Amino acid sequence: MAFEDNDRDYLFWTSQNARGYVVNGYRSPSSDYLTLHWADCYTINGGQSPWTTKDYAKVCSPSLSALEAWAGGLDGSLRKCDKCWA
């Protein structure tokens, strides 16, 4: 599920899918920046905002393999967040 210009629904999704996955990327997805997070990572749903309304968008899924396939379609690969995957 992709979220662009919709912080409310994005934050609801992360609250309901804490062990799901979120890819943070540019608004126009690019293989240059595809960071994989756990949905409960504070760096992508903490106190600051906006999350999906400026330069970035989020692609979310309960399935890691689905997100890896999506990134592969961009000729990219996912880079794990240093905070939530530490």
The partner residues of 79 in beta bridges, in order of sequence, read 35
The predicted pLDDT at position 86 comes to 80
Average pLDDT, rounded, for the chain: 93
Cα(82)–Cα(43) distance, integer angstroms: 10
Question: In degrees to the nearest 10, what's the CA dihedral of 75, 43, 22, 54?
Answer: -70
What is residue 45's predicted lDDT score, i.e. its pLDDT?
86
The percentage of the chain sitting over the pLDDT mark of 70, rounded to a whole number, equals 100
Tokens, residue 70:
């999506």
What's the mean pLDDT in 35-56?
A: 88
For 1-86, strand residue ranges (E) read 2-3, 21-26, 34-38, 56-61, 79-80
Q: What was the pLDDT predicted at 54?
A: 86
Q: Per-residue pLDDT tens for 7-45?
A: 999 999 999 999 999 999 999 989 999 999 999 999 998
Please determine, for residue 49, whether its predicted confidence score (pLDDT) is greater than 80: no
Asked if 33 contacts 26 with a C-beta cutoff of 8 angstroms, the reply is yes
pLDDT, position 77:
95
